[in-house]
Amino acid sequence: MTKFIPIAQIVVSVVLIGLILLQERSSGLSGIFGGEGGFYQTRRGLERIIFGGTIVFAVIFLGLAIAQLLF
């Protein structure tokens, strides 16, 4: 079990990095501080799936990090 956690954490981190890089640039904090597209835009379609997947994989990564500390 303890050898599975670091491998799973590496895989989840690579997927999480990919999902973050696929998101639009103006949807983050840069849009708040005068970046491109200074208006609120709802996420639709694939953009919404990528955003939800980013949240899910971030929670999984956090859970794996806590599990690695406990075990």
Q: Which amino acid is at 58?
A: A
Confidence band, pLDDT 50/70/90 cuts, at residue 66: very high
Per-residue confidence (pLDDT) for residue 33, from 0 to 100:
56
Domain boundaries, the chain: 4-70
CA angle, 31 then 33 then 34, to 5°: 70
Confidence band, pLDDT 50/70/90 cuts, at residue 4: very high
> Can you tell me whether residue 71 is helix, strand or coil?
coil
Report H helices in 1-71: 4-22, 29-32, 46-70
